[in-house]
């Protein structure tokens, strides 16, 4: 890392929201990180400044052609009063894989991690310490060149903003009901479903709205080609406990390589649970539900960590998962991962990174 | 239309670029249109103001989840000194279809058209009058709510900006060489390939860069499911003259219903040319090229109008289209559509809308 991060502190710190009002991504801290890119000059002008609006030309490419990527991770106030991050190096690596797919120049990962560290330290008073709360960290890159030709931007901004958050779902770790989506598709192999780019999320809103209108929390996405293989649930990866095995969709190119997904696989294997990463069809799932072997199902992601699924709606039928309540393995995974994250329990994998 | 458009004129008009320096989407005029949306309040505060940067919270949803759509059309200085638009009602209708798919509230089409009319009139001195030049009009909507939950924004901006443009492709109406893309996919049925949303364009950059590196102008996109049926070329619709018929991919949901596409179909039928809108596979194309019946191929879009294709690169082979030069029908379509647009010839379809 060759760049120094210039720091300008706010002179007007904001009041902090109460823990029970946090929600997800509604409040932002006092500072933010910015790094500029210009073709020929590279990434430059690393700075932490007071959180404030950014000013962009209305022709900035992000508005027109969606050249943008993001990441998400959390900072925790651990029980001994320290601050920890969860596998932040994985986020920076994925950020650059996303950049590559979206024709955005790579960001220096060491600089990104250092920016993250300094920003979290500066705004450490914003890390909530009530149970289930944390400081959500959102690094993102946007294309800022004011030009309407369809080509990669010659200017970008890499930014990090912070938001104190409660649980992602208002209902907390309670099983949700899921609508299996058969009309809309989230992604296709050869597309961008495997990277964290803005367009993937906007494309999923319509299906989500439809599911909500029918009383479901999220949709279960099937692959775009065969409309048969399960890919993600909402904007999370998904796991199924069938008999004594746990199955999760293989990273075929249509789904995001989640960091929580990776952590859950490691954890389950560490416990001696057999995990299969492979194609899993909706038909196989329905069959497993009918014969009683589908014991548990849960989504995984940074925001919710683990989101148990209580029932699936498929072809007019409501399929209960297990007895509809949070499964024993789901609960154990949730407790262990959140326990490692907030320092409540030992971290055998060295996933926790203390910020100091 | 119930809203009045408030007008604030610039006091510092910018110098205008020379006709030979225009390029595409590099220069912007003195004014822009803005309309705000807020949940519960609807679209409000219609205004034309000096062209200027916009200020957005770094958490604005457009940066993170890509909830945005756009349109593109052109204003022309006709030979009798009037200003004309080309089928602007089609753009406003498609804008609302795009809005619907992207969970964005609909815009009053009459207000949008009136905004467009007033803005073009205010900046009419920016409409270039050299051959092949025009004033490109870019309406777009961006999600501005500062919140990181993945859900439709509660705040938006609908804006219109204007850019005096030359021809889209530096090479002008000269046949381009095209790389048939087999690794990347542009869209899939059930996705968003049929609407003008930002993410579609960012997703295509990587393939475009690959094709450019190999010396090709654009890629020919095959469908995301079978990787077999031709969909678009670059960001244009595509037409093939095979024998005495003209074939263009049917609107299956994976490609954009282009306004130039629609106009070309109408025009060809008006001339008595048989036009088929149907699935057309790359194999059929290659076969037609081999047996000599593939006479012409061209892309259509607002920016380039008609872009003839001279050759296709497929599986290591270079397939010449006709004799590699601009085909007779392609040239006639180009001359007629641009002639109608700039008022050089009669407009039997009432496509030209005079702005006054």
Q: Tens digits of per-residue pLDDT, A309-349? A: 999 999 999 999 999 999 999 999 999 999 999 899 999 99
Note whether A202 contacts B102, CB cutoff 8 Å: yes
Task: Give percent of chain A above pLDDT 70.
Answer: 98
Please provide the average confidence, as pLDDT, over all residues in chain B.
95
Token pair recorded at residue B40: 């519960």
The ipTM value here is 0.97
pLDDT-derived band at B168 (thresholds 50, 70, 90) equals low
Residue B3 has a pLDDT of: 87
> Torsion angle, CA of B193/B197/B203/B208, rounded to 10 degrees?
90
Note whether A198 contacts B199, CB cutoff 8 Å: yes
Locate CATH 3.20.10.10 in chain B: 176-341
Q: Which fold has domain A6-165?
A: D-amino Acid Aminotransferase; Chain A, domain 1 (3.30.470)
Q: Say if residue A96's pLDDT is above 80.
A: yes
pLDDT-derived band at A3 (thresholds 50, 70, 90) equals confident
Lowest mean pLDDT of A112-121, A127-136, B86-95, name the range. Answer: A127-136
Provide mean pLDDT across the span A230-255.
Answer: 96
Q: How far is B99 from chain A (nearest CA, A)?
A: 11
- Where in chain B does DSSP place strands (E)? 6-7, 31-38, 42-50, 54-56, 68-70, 73-77, 83-86, 134-143, 155-165, 176-180, 218-222, 230-233, 237-242, 245-249, 274-278, 294-301, 305-314, 317-320, 352-355
Q: Name the CATH architecture for the domain at B176-341.
A: Alpha-Beta Barrel (3.20)
Locate CATH 3.30.470.10 in chain A: 6-165
Rounded to the nearest angstrom, the gap between the alpha carbon of residue B263 and the centroid of all alpha carbons in its chain is: 13
Note whether A62 contacts B198, CB cutoff 8 Å: yes
Q: Which residues of A touch B30 (CB under 8 A)?
A: none
Pick the residue of B151, B191, B207 with the most A CBs within 10 A to test the interface with A by mutation. B191
pLDDT-derived band at B169 (thresholds 50, 70, 90) equals low
Pick the residue of A48, A138, A150, A222 with the most B CBs within 10 A to test the interface with B by mutation. A150
> Which residue from A68, A209, A235 is facing B63, i.e. has the nearest CB?
A68
Pick the residue of B202, B219, B303 with the most A CBs within 10 A to test the interface with A by mutation. B202
Note whether A203 contacts B192, CB cutoff 8 Å: yes
Note whether A183 contacts B206, CB cutoff 8 Å: no
Provide mean pLDDT across the span A140-154.
Answer: 97
DSSP letter for each residue of A147-177? --SSS--SEEEEEEEEEEE--SSTT-SS-EE
Q: Which residues of B337-347 are buried (b: 16+ CB within 10 A; e: fewer)?
A: bbebbbbeeee
């Amino acid at each position: 890392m060759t760049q120094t991060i210039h720091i300008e502190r706010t002179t007007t710190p904001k009041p902090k929201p109460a823990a029970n009002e946090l929600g997800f991504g509604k409040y932002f801290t006092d500072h933010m990180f910015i790094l500029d890119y210009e073709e020929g000059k590279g990434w430059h002008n690393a700075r932490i400044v007071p959180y404030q609006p950014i000013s962009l030309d209305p022709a900035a490419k992000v508005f027109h052609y969606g050249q943008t990527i993001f990441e998400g991770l959390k900072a925790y106030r651990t029980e001994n009063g320290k601050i920890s991050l969860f596998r932040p190096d994985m986020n920076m690596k994925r950020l650059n894989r996303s950049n590559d797919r979206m024709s955005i120049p790579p960001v220096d990962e060491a600089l990104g991690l250092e920016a993250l560290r300094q920003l979290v330290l500066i705004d450490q008073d914003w890390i909530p310490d009530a149970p289930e709360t944390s400081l959500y960290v959102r690094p993102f890159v946007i294309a800022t060149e004011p030009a309407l030709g369809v080509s990669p931007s010659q200017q970008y901004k890499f930014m990090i903003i912070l938001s104190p958050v409660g649980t992602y779902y208002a209902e907390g770790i309670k099983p949700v009901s899921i609508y299996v989506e058969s009309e809309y598709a989230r992604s296709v192999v050869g597309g961008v479903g495997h990277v964290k780019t803005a367009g993937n999320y906007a494309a999923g809103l319509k299906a989500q709205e439809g599911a909500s209108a029918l009383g479901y929390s999220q949709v279960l996405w099937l692959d775009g080609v065969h409309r048969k293989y399960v890919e993600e649930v909402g904007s999370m990866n998904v796991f199924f406990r069938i008999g004594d095995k746990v199955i999760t969709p293989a990273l075929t190119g249509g789904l995001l390589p989640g960091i929580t997904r990776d952590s859950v696989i490691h954890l389950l294997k560490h416990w001696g649970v057999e995990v299969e990463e492979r194609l899993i069809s909706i038909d196989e799932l329905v069959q497993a539900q009918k014969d009683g072997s589908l014991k548990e199902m849960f989504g995984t992601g940074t925001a919710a960590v683990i989101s148990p699924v209580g029932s699936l709606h498929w072809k007019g039928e409501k399929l209960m998962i297990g007895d509809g309540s949070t499964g024993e393995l789901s609960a154990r995974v949730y407790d262990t991962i959140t326990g490692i994250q907030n320092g409540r329990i030992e971290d055998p994998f060295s996933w926790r990174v203390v910020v100091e």
